[in-house]
Structure 1
Amino acid sequence: MEQKDFIPIVQLCEHYSVEISFFNELHDMGLINITTVEKTSYLHQEKISDVEKMIRIHQELNINTEGIDAVFNLLQKIDSLQNELNKLHNRLRLYENDY
């Protein structure tokens, strides 16, 4: 495990002004993976943008972790559908260019 790829949860709590329990609840719901090394909990840096979205949903919209789970799953589904739509649009262009 590369230490530089992980950020301590305590540091994230201070930076984003959230409680450690918030991260624990996200982890319990399967929204994030927390890695613990020598009694210190870490989050992989690749997940920071997702966590920032979850924190904004929680703080700005006052939505609990169950709601965050639902909203985040819907946002992921929208992204997936948008990608599929783009692929289909590109395939359609190929057929249009042939004629």
Structure 2
Amino acid sequence: MKDTQFIPLPSLCTHYKIEMSFFDGLSEYGLIEFISVEKTYCIHQDKMADVEKMIRLHQDLQLNFEGIDAVFNLLEKIDYLKSELTTTKNKLKRFEEN
């Protein structure tokens, strides 16, 4: 495997001591997307932070796939609301300066 942008799932299973079925479940819920590189399923390195969060949610909090999906949806909403709040604050500052 020459492309370092992709991390093979078997390596992740070994490193995190987790079954391949966990990644299959995440994929079924649309939480991660596999990429096939040289007949091996991989995850893009940009998605590793999310994958690690999902693993921690599953292992530390014993959340199932539905729970992980709910948490990630809520986190996306929080990020969106933070962005909206920042935009609104910036607009308000412009009006206050006038």
Q: Secondary structure at the match of 1:7?
A: strand
Q: Which amino acid aligns with 1:7?
A: I
Q: Secondary structure at the match of 2:31?
A: coil
Q: Aligned pair 1:51/2:30, yes or no?
A: no
Quick one: percent identity of the two aligned structures? Answer: 54
Which runs of 4 or more aligned residues in structure 1 lie more than 6 Å from their structure 2 counterparts after TM superposition? none
Q: Deviations over 1:20-73 (max 9, x none)?
A: 111111111111110123331100000000111111111111001111011111
Q: Which amino acid aligns with 2:19?
A: E
Q: Which runs of 5+ in 1 are unaligned?
A: none
Q: Aligned pair 1:68/2:68, yes or no?
A: yes
Q: Which amino acid aligns with 1:24?
A: D
How many residues of Structure 1 are paired with residues of Structure 2 in the alignment?
Answer: 97
Q: Secondary structure at the match of 1:3?
A: coil
Q: Secondary structure at the match of 1:33?
A: coil
Q: Which runs of 5+ in 2 are unaligned?
A: none
What residue in structure 1 maps to residue 79 of structure 2? 79
